[in-house]
Structure 1
């Protein structure tokens, strides 16, 4: 028999004090910090406590008593529900201040290393429609807000009503099996909204089943869209064939999308029978057009496939990579190692200023794209290798290919493996340029290299407006 705890208290007329991690804000109550989403410093609110821990609590706003002067009106009608853009109610200038502070706090508190003055953050060129990639889940159960549920007519006894309506949209935090339907997302070119909404309309009208993640059946499973600054558009639809005729139904949808939206230059699909939505290990089929699109940067072209990693904010990626290239300070005679090279964007971007660039990346398809990108751009001084970084980048590898003068590293959010750090230290390059999408793990790695390298420059770059995420570029110089 489970013990029922007392309802958590409601705290009235509290003032939100500051911005916290993960897009939340905070205030202090008695001896604890209370974290609250979807508010801004200066708001005076009533808070329902939802979770209690030894050193902190979590809550949600149940009533706004007075709005803060440091606040703006969110542009998206889904704000506060889908959870993707948690800072849309915060003016962009305030977002940048918070991200600047986040970089400072994490490098000092976690890294505990000597730092130069941190450069002012580079704000994003665009603050809406800035992404070149989005993924949407398809589910046979949609999420309903409490307001939507309250507005529904009473259900007849013995009937479920319409609470299992299918939807295409984003997962709600804490509800892995439900999707909140998105009518308009402001993060990508508006054309993608037309495609997504039409797929949903057609699928429902034709009786197509939507995926049930618990039972693992249902035909329409996931949609990924990419666009590029060359005007190309890619759509990848994941299906889950369950019964006879599903493949025909899937192709009918693809045909409808191709006819309705001739602007799509790359229409791809896959039958994914796995327990998750990842498709890196699956064979994809091109239904229409090519299996890639091109991005451009300066005078370079980059081939981007459905499995390729490419920075999702194209305009801002140029500024990020320009910072990395400036920090590398190449003269034309250096051997450069580009770790976690993706599709070779940084490697090819700096190649004309280096003697030779060696790129390493885990995803084989991305490495193939990196090689093609060098060929397309007539770059002959790059070499690319695919495999796990800690397995490829070894002392033997460096002995064979040469000791790097410069290492540029752009690892995933988890940062670098200890073995990779050790090999970098043994290689002893003159300079290391560390590009990070997670200053916390970057700070940890900087501390591991602090005995041999000093931090010479720090440049935060905002790639994701309206979210708490921030990129940071650090220049390390040999002591």
Structure 2
């Protein structure tokens, strides 16, 4: 006898009160917290319970009875299916409000830190079209939309897609026709590569069966040069038609995109989606150039760089300004990446020491220092969370200022101990995750006071936020 299907639990007329840090709306039902994806504060909804826990429910919107005054119409036809930007339905001023409120809640209520001052927002004037890098995936498993499934027409192109992953689905790709986070020209490139690849019968990569030629398309943009770099990642070329396609799509993009400065063909012959075996520049230069606070950065095909070009100068400028560096200061820049903070900071300091785990990032940092004629930056590869980190860092001259910009997981205890023992005048803690930033700052209040916090919106239409915390040594 077949098992009985569990009856759906629907919470009627649930009022949405707030948005939590991870961007999920919050309501309450009989003292149970309900987390609801896709809702907006001020909505009154019917919520379908997807997962039931002791103290909270995870829900989705089943029906909206009353629309919040803070709701706006999302411009993207893929909104609600694509997981790229989940706040398009929320007015931008309210996006800023909830991001700031979540930072304040994390520091005040969770970490129990008294912050001297929450500074006025540094927000993006470009709500769309701001990303300078987008990575799209090819797939032999295209996600079929509800509209396609509802039609009686035969679906002939379900084995070829170029777009973005659906949330929680590594094996399915949604065809993206127009991504509003990138420039219009980038969308032309995206659609042309998809059209030509499908037209000539190129095979898209199958992520579970591990076969197929086309794997990824990366589009990078330099605001300073108004130029594009296109990176086509494929499996190893196995026949003449595949070789011809790579050459033909390069020539086609040269014809229709006058400001395509570079076309790169990269090889990935492993099951690892991000492993690059080698790459070859088929057109133009091997790098783009971006200008940040008077420093020019060479951006190679796979180097890390902040993705919002329009906010780079104000963001980095605020970090350096907040450090209040003096002419005879020694500065440590921990988790320095490609030197995007170290190099502008070097203009004010005696010496800057940049430490970073990634060898390729340090190579880029050194190259950028040489490119700009900067001689007072010393870059070294070091695993800051490794067992030798404390000994290695102890060999450096004592710092006057320390800048830290860790990954989302935050700082580990060994670095907290190093910061506390440094007795440096000021710590500038830059974070893309205010939750771990607040946790770490609480540990540092043993010797430091949190003087100010500046929220920086680098990622409109998403819940992500950057935060610059200033910590001063308690005298």
**TM-score of Structure 1 vs Structure 2, range by shorter chain:** over 0.9
**Shift of residue 334, structure 1, vs aligned partner:** 0.2
User: Matched residue of 2:63: which SS?
Assistant: strand
Shift of 1:441: 1.0
Q: Which residue of structure 2 aligns with residue 475 of structure 1?
A: 470
In the TM superposition, what is the alpha-carbon distance from 1:52 to its structure 2 partner? 1.5
Does 198-207 or 99-108 show the bigger shift? Answer: 99-108
Structure 2 CA distance, aligned partners of 1:242 and 1:189? 30
Q: Which residue of the other structure, out of 182, 185, 209, is the alignment partner of 1:188?
A: 182
- Deviation sequence 1:235-283 (CA, Å, 0-9, x none): 111112374444454344334334443421121122212222213x633
Q: 1:46-445 counterparts in 2 under 5 A?
A: 46-153=46-153, 162=156, 164-229=158-223, 230-241=225-236, 243-245=238-240, 246-279=242-275, 282-391=277-386, 394-445=389-440
Q: State which of 447, 454, 461 in structure 1 corresponds to 2:442.
A: 447
**5+ long unaligned stretches in structure 1:** 156-160
CA gap of 1:393–1:430, structure 2 versus 1, over 3 A, is: farther
Q: Distance in 1 between matches of 2:56 and 2:117?
A: 32
2:25 counterpart of 1:25: yes
Q: TM-score, normalised by structure 2?
A: 0.94
Query: Any conservation in 1 of the 2:129–2:182 contact (CA below 8 Å)?
Result: yes
Q: Alpha carbons of 1:218 and 1:393: their partners in 2 closer, same or farther (altered >3 Å)? A: same
SS state at 1:317 partner? helix
Output the CA distance in 2 between the equivalents of 1:2 and 1:368: 62
The change in CA–CA distance for 1:35 and 1:147 in structure 2 (over 3 A counts) is: farther
| Cα-Cα RMSD | 2.1
| Distance in 2, Cα, partners of 1:14 & 1:417 | 40
Give the CA deviation at 1:421. 2.1
CA distances 1:100-139 after superposition (whole Å, capped 9, x unpaired) = 0111112234422232231232111211111111111111
**Following TM superposition, by how much is the alpha carbon of 1:3 offset from its aligned partner in structure 2, in angstroms?**
5.6
- Contact 1:218–1:241 at 8 Å: present in 2 too? no
**Segment of structure 1 superposing worse, 62-71 or 133-142:** 62-71
Instruction: Note if contact 2:398-2:422 (Cα within 8 Å) is conserved in structure 1.
Output: yes
| Mapped contact 1:337–1:358 kept (Cα < 8 A) | yes
Residues matched between the structures, number: 472
Q: Which secondary structure does the structure 2 equivalent of 1:23 belong to? A: coil
Structure 2 distance, partners of 1:247, 1:421, is 52
Residues 395 and 20 of structure 1, relative CA distance in 2, 3 Å threshold: closer
Q: CA deviation at 1:395?
A: 4.1
Do the aligned partners of 2:197 and 2:245 also contact (CA within 8 Å) in 1?
A: no
Cα deviation, residue 354, structure 1: 0.4
Q: Is the contact between residue 390 and residue 414 of structure 2 (CA under 8 Å) also seen in structure 1?
A: no
Tell me the CA shift for residue 344 of structure 1: 0.7
CA deviation map 1:448-474 (0-9, x unaligned): 222121111111111100100010001
> Structure 2 unaligned runs (5+)?
none
Whether the 8 Å contact between 1:208 and 1:220 is mirrored in structure 2 is yes
Residues 21, 99 of structure 2: 8 Å contact kept:
no
Bigger mean CA offset, 126-135 vs 383-392: 383-392
Partner Cα separation in structure 1 for residue 2 and residue 441 of structure 2: 47
User: Do 1:218 and 1:242's aligned partners in 2 also have CA atoms closer than 8 Å?
Assistant: no
Once residues 77 and 140 of structure 1 are traced to their aligned partners in structure 2, the CA distance between those partners, rounded to angstroms, is 22
Contact 2:269 2:277 in 1 (8 A): no
Query: 1:141, 1:163 within 8 Å by CA — same for their partners in 2?
Result: no
Contact residue 232 and residue 264 of structure 2 kept, 8 A: yes
Q: Tell me how far apart the structure 2 counterparts of residues 263 and 285 of structure 1 sit (CA, whole Å).
A: 19
Query: In 2, Cα distance between the equivalents of 1:61 and 1:427?
Result: 50
Whether contact under 8 Å (1:344, 1:370) holds in the other structure is yes
SS at match of 1:14: strand
TM-score, length of structure 1 as denominator length: 0.93
**How far apart are the structure 2 equivalents of 1:132 and 1:333?**
36
Answer whether contact 2:36 2:61 (CA < 8 A) is retained: yes
Q: Greater CA deviation, 41-50 or 173-182?
A: 41-50
